[in-house]
Amino acid sequence: MCGPIDYGAAALSIYRLSLIFAVAGSLTMWKMRHFVIQKTKHKMSVFAHEPSVNV
């Protein structure tokens, strides 16, 4: 071991890292919202024009 240990600091670090990733992920989703909406609309329009299947 290199120096003293502190499990509290390690737990706090893991918690803060997950917090950072959560914030970064949310910001990414927010930035890409137009792209996601556009893709979803395109997908829906494709389904709307799909010919009905005769069974």
Residues that bind another protein (CB under 8 A): 1-10, 12-14, 16-17, 20, 28, 31-32, 35
Only one residue has tokens 């071991």, namely 1
What DSSP assignment string belongs to 1-55?
Answer: --S---HHHHHHHHHHHHHHHHHHHHHHHHHTHHHHHHHHHHHHHHHHTSPPPP-
> Which CB, 12 or 44, lies closer to another protein?
12
> Which CB, 30 or 47, lies closer to another protein?
30
> Which CB, 31 or 49, lies closer to another protein?
31
CB of 46 to another protein, least distance (A): 24
